[in-house]
Amino acid sequence: MNAPVQPGFDVERIRADFPVLAQQHRGRPLVFLDSGASAQKPRQVIQAMVRSMEERYANVHRGAYRLSEAATADYEAARTAVARFINAADPREVIFTTNSTAAINLVAHGWGRGVLQPGQAVLISEMEHHANLVPWHMLRDDNRGIELRICRVTDAGELDLGDLEAKLADGKVGLVAVTHMSNVLGTVTPAARIVAMAHAKGAKVLLDGSQAAVHRRVDMQALGADFYAFTGHKLYGPTGIGVLWARLEHQERMPPFLGGGDMIASVTLEGSTWAEPPAKFEAGTPPIVEAVGLHAAIDYVSAIGMPALEAHERTLVDHAMRRLSDIEGLTLLGRAQDRGGVFSFALDNAHPHDLATLLDRAGIAVRAGRHCAEPLHARFGLEGGTCRASFGLYTTEGEIDYLAEALTKAREFFA
């Protein structure tokens, strides 16, 4: 499953791999700046999934025939590819879920309800996506005696590490659950430092890597976290598959989240026993074809090389900061020193939905709203939302220039 991409970064050659980018809008190519919500798919991923369905599809793990054995091999090969991609110590640390939201809910159920004790706390931040906020509301509201603490965000859009340290100080925090990269601010949090601070006070750490895993190399050995969640559809793979990386010793302590086939060792009418991890957390028919697609996506970005991808993104971020900062009446949300290719902005006199609609008429696809981060928008006084431009490996400086020109025209229109 090798993607025919050579090391290095040729953005025009890469763009040719994405069929959707060949679309025209009023004589111009589509300018897709919503990869933070869901990235486009290269032909290599599409073809791998079609090949799986046409030639190698069957249910996995239990079939004693050739097709099932082939499908099982492909499914488990995807697990190994994920482990290699994030430098996990053991493929068994990789649990397949449907997306990041499901991965975080698995931790909230298994660790939150199965391991945390009354009187302990979960510590999150103002920066979190709803997927890393709502499950902890639900845990707190279960009347299990679990407290929810919130770390502040600075005016620059960075985690207030002093506040984080203060909220860890009493030793009652059992789990720190924070984003590795904000889907609104583009802020990349100092994850390894956060992990060290939390572990020093006896807390485990869950990192929401939904954005970070797309934009830079992530290394489970270097980060030292306990849980890490990310999703396939932002990583140029299909929807319907996500990953929870969890240390094996933590998986052993956690009860399963869902019950049914494939996650059991034995079942009687009186009770059940669980399979060994990670099967313990993968109930029912898994996302087989989607796992093949995720494997192909990982092969694709790995063939390009994460260092080359990161260098391309740094160039785009620097260029976008220069161009967008020069637009009068445009407010950029967050000015973190370490940031990825996500820019949320508000334009004077323009509702974000109206602005996004106007940009769409120019062939530019951006997000509008509060991006599943309502508390963060409230923190910056933008309860009405923002527009967000988010970059992918196929984004060009010319597209950023075109966005800047369209925003300048929009400012004149709304004025």
Measured between alpha carbons, how far is 353 from 376 in angstroms, rounded to an integer? Answer: 18
Return the residue matching tokens 């934009």.
215
* CB contact at 8 A, 188 and 167: no
End-to-end Cα spacing for the chain? 53
Q: What gap in Å lies between CA 164 and CA 174, rounded to an integer?
A: 14
- The β-bridge relationship of strands 24-25 and 28-29 is antiparallel
Bond before 278 cis per omega within 30 degrees: yes
Alpha-carbon Rg of the chain, whole angstroms? Answer: 22
Contact criterion met (CB below 8 Å) for 184 and 373: yes
CA 235/CA 100 separation, integer angstroms = 12
Q: Are 180 and 192 in contact (CB under 8 A)?
A: no
The verdict on whether 372 is a catalytic residue reads yes
Closest by CA to 399, choosing from 25, 41, 38, 45, is 25
Q: Are 299 and 2 in contact (CB under 8 A)?
A: yes
Which residue in 299, 302, 306, 294 sits closest to 234, CA to CA?
Answer: 294
Give the CA distances from residue 290 to residues 63, 96, 230, 271, in Å, rounded to whole numbers and listed in that order: 19, 10, 14, 32
Q: Which residues make Cβ contacts (< 8 Å) with residue 55, sequence separation at least 6?
A: none
224/214 Cα distance (integer angstroms): 19
Catalytic residue of the set 190, 319, 372, 374:
372
The residue type of 336 is: A
| 284 Rama class: left (phi>0) / alpha (psi -120 to 50) / beta | left
Contact predicate 240/287, CB 8 Å:
yes
DSSP 8-state code for residue 152? -
Give which of 216, 194, 211 is closest to 86, Cα–Cα: 216
Question: Active-site residues: which are they?
Answer: 372
